[in-house]
Amino acid sequence: MATATVGADDGPLGPVSAALLAHLRDLVRTHGVVVWYDADALGASLLDRLTDEAAVVRWRGSHWAARKDAEEAFSRITDAAVTAGDRRLLVHVPGPRLAPREDPLAEIALAGCCEQLARADVVALALRDQVSGPVLDQLSRQPVSLAELDALAVDGTFGGGLLYALAGVGDEVGLAVRLLRDAAFEERVAARGLDADLQAALREGLGFAPDPAEAPAARRRRLWRHVLFTELLARLSAPLPALASLPALPDAARDRCLAVAQRLRAEMDARAYAVEAREVEGPLRPALAAADEGNWLDTLPALAEAAFARLDPLCAGGGDLEAVGARARAGRASYWARQKGEQRRWEVAVRAVELAQAARRAATEVAAHQGAPEAWVRRYADPEHGWWRCDHLQRQLEEAAGGDDHGIPALLGQARAAYQAFAADLAEGFGASLSRSGVLFGDLLPQTDIFHRLVEPDLARERVAYVLVDALRYELGLDLAQRLAAELEPADLEVRPAIAAAPTVTEVGMAALLPRAERGLGLSGERGRFGAVLEGRVLRVRADRRKFLSALLGEQVLDLRLREVRAGRKWRERAAEARLVVVWQQAMDKEGEQGQDETDFTSLARDLDDVVHAVRRLGDAGFARVVIAADHGFLFFDPPPGPERTVDAPTGGALWKLDRRCWVGRGGTTPEGLWRVPFAALGLGGEGDCLFLKGLGVLAAPQQAVYVHGGLSLQELVVPVLTLRLARRGPAAGPGLFGAAVAT
């Protein structure tokens, strides 16, 4: 005997299933024994839910087998049990009823009742007053499952019949989206004999006239064109003659087409949509490329390509940057910017406009600015409105461009020219202030005081990490601060400007960051080797600076490269007894010096992230206090300065150091365009002079000048100092440096 042995499923049912189940339960309770002829084999999924009402006999392939199982179950049921409702029987036959004389189950039915339910009967149980006669007739002829009937009822789509249930949608918009996204859907429609229903729905809902003789693939392609061309026609700001032959649709049909197009872009993979859209736009590509469309339209990729191609012509002759910027921002936010490679070129366009606009505004401000060198520095370094923002935008543009013009050479050229004009005006204005007032900066922090004022006092109380980053110009320091704040959430994070020791080269700047630099720094050119002089020692390279630290601070200082901190663990054992760890990073300066012809800032973001990671590891090792400082900034030229900004190097005299932005030595000539400043006027010890460019130029040299430093521009001279405190996770330090005694 095949009876149900599992318990009832109490999960939710659709409205048609629920009505059928309630009807069967009522029959069983009323008659005790029910033979259910399930004419369209809909209800097998409900049998488990009836086991709480009756013993259920399941079909095993023949009426005779069902009779045998039913007799076995029936023999166990007494009249008293049936009357008392203690036990009932349901026999399920997934098919139509046989003639009574031929039906082996007829005698079983005589004990209770016989119930035959076809598909239309099942629908009528639930929705008798909601379903029209023609729909019921259609359902009787179509192989619709019980689940599909439930979907029809839930979605309220019985008005559309089986077609909408098959698509799983409730309106013409959803139907069209399903058809356009699913190439096999139309075959399933045809297999159900619903092709005429589909044609009618498309014609009445979207104004699309299908051709009954048309192949499904051709009809689907034509529907794509109908939908996208309708959207294009509705949203173009000016008529396009190529679309003049399109029929005028009623407002409702047009709006449905627009809704279909929007849903296709929202729901389809962008690459799949692009394939279809490119096929559709084929005949229109020449017309779209020529149209000057003011509105942004996501309908077809040719529109985005044409919009991008018009950016450069709009810049011709110093065109309206506001209009170019609006178009570029719309393109960056557009659907087509999601395509591979598209986001970047739109980003480059936006960055170029932002730089050009900011540089022009700043140049106007520079022209009106007056004051001593200190006032220039404060205006440049203002956290909210400082001119450093132009340097920041320049870096963002070059990082995004990555050395490529991205098809907008005119726009990039305009942005770069605007930046260089701003930088030249800034250098000339600041230089004039220096020549009038001297290289004096009031109470601004000198680079030589950084260790004495910001590191040494804390060493008396705690362990300190001192991170020295080569070529960290001021705007990069502000960027680094944002990254540290986001990644580490430190306390007391502060960024302040400091004035680098001149000339702004590594030998001088790195020595100026060391202990005792506040007591005086000098320059030396002994035996043709240039270096800084500190406490009587000549410091030329990093090895000299390491020896100086070791001699001064002994085992309480640990000297590391930043890559050691990032990559290794052995340093932590050596750091256990150290009170001060000095970490050197030269990646940015090295990349700039070695990549003169192709420097594009693409590595700087990675370099900043390396510093953040190293600071995190220093905090883990117990260095809660962190000070980050730089030796000098830099200027970045793209394109490199031409002959009009190139100055011949001095001749004669004793040459100690020749850089693209300065000459250091004794005697010699002072060519036009250079400014001679004695060491003493720079606050440096020793006998000699520095020659600096008066403006933005460079000294003549064989190699191109793309990345340069050494001079007295604000970008070279103003460096950031970052101070922060991390949550202490490592061991506390022992006795302090410089004679301080601290409890552990």
pLDDT in tens, 542-591: 999 999 999 999 989 999 999 999 887 789 988 988 999 999 998 887 77
How far is 407 from 341, CA to CA, in rounded Å? Answer: 12
Measure the CA–CA gap between 415 and 404, rounded to whole angstroms: 14
Q: What does the pLDDT read at residue 366?
A: 98
pLDDT at 83: 56
- Residue 621 contacts residue 730 (beta carbons within 8 Å): yes
626 within 8 A of 464, measured Cβ to Cβ? yes
Averaged pLDDT for residues 498-515:
97
Provide the residue type at 69 as one letter. Answer: D
The token duo for 328 is 């570029």
Interatomic CA distance for residues 623 and 621, integer angstroms: 6
3-class DSSP state for residue 550?
helix
Cα 559 to chain centroid distance, Å, stands at 38
C-alpha dist (Å) from residue 208 to 224, 240, 246, 267, 461: 10, 21, 11, 22, 81
Instruction: Supply the pLDDT for residue 597.
Output: 43
Distance CA 385, CA 171 (A): 54
Model confidence, pTM: 0.78
According to the model, what pLDDT value does residue 712 have?
Answer: 97
Query: What pLDDT sits at residue 718?
Result: 98
What pLDDT does residue 344 have?
A: 92
Q: What is the mean pLDDT of residues 362-379?
A: 97
Question: CA torsion angle for 460, 464, 469, 473 (degrees, to 10)?
Answer: -70
- Through-space distance between the first and last CA atoms of the chain, rounded to whole angstroms: 85
**CB of 119 closer than 8 Å to CB of 141:** no
Q: DSSP for 11-59?
A: S---HHHHHHHHHHHHHHHHHSEEEEEETT---GGGGGGGTTTSEEEPP
Residue type, 559: D
Q: Is 673 left (phi over 0), alpha (psi -120 to 50) or beta?
A: left
pLDDT at 3 over 50: no
Question: 197 — alpha (psi -120 to 50), left (phi > 0) or beta?
Answer: alpha
Contact 686, 503 (CB under 8 A): no
Residue 144 banded pLDDT, cuts 50, 70, 90: confident
Q: Cβ distance 592 to 634 under 8 Å? A: yes
Which residue is listed with tokens 């259609």? 138
| More reliable by pLDDT, 270 or 732 | 270
H-helix segments, 284-341? 285-290, 301-309, 311-315, 321-332
Q: Nearest CA to 663 among 693, 704, 694, 636?
A: 693
Q: How far apart are CA 477 and CA 687, in angstroms?
A: 34
Task: Name the phi and psi angles at 570, rounded to 5.
Answer: -60, -30
Give the mean model confidence (pLDDT) for residues 378-384.
97
Residue that has been written with the tokens 């070791």 in this structure:
550
Strand partners, 537: 534
H/E element, 77: none
Amino acid letter, residue 387: W
Residue 577 CA to residue 420 CA, distance in Å, equals 50
| Separation of alpha carbons 202 and 177, rounded Å | 11
Q: Write down the pLDDT at residue 6.
A: 33
- Look at residue 713 and give its three-state secondary structure: coil
Of residues 739 and 250, the one with the higher pLDDT is 250
Enumerate residues 6+ apart whose C-beta is below 8 A from 51.
Answer: 4, 5, 6, 7, 8
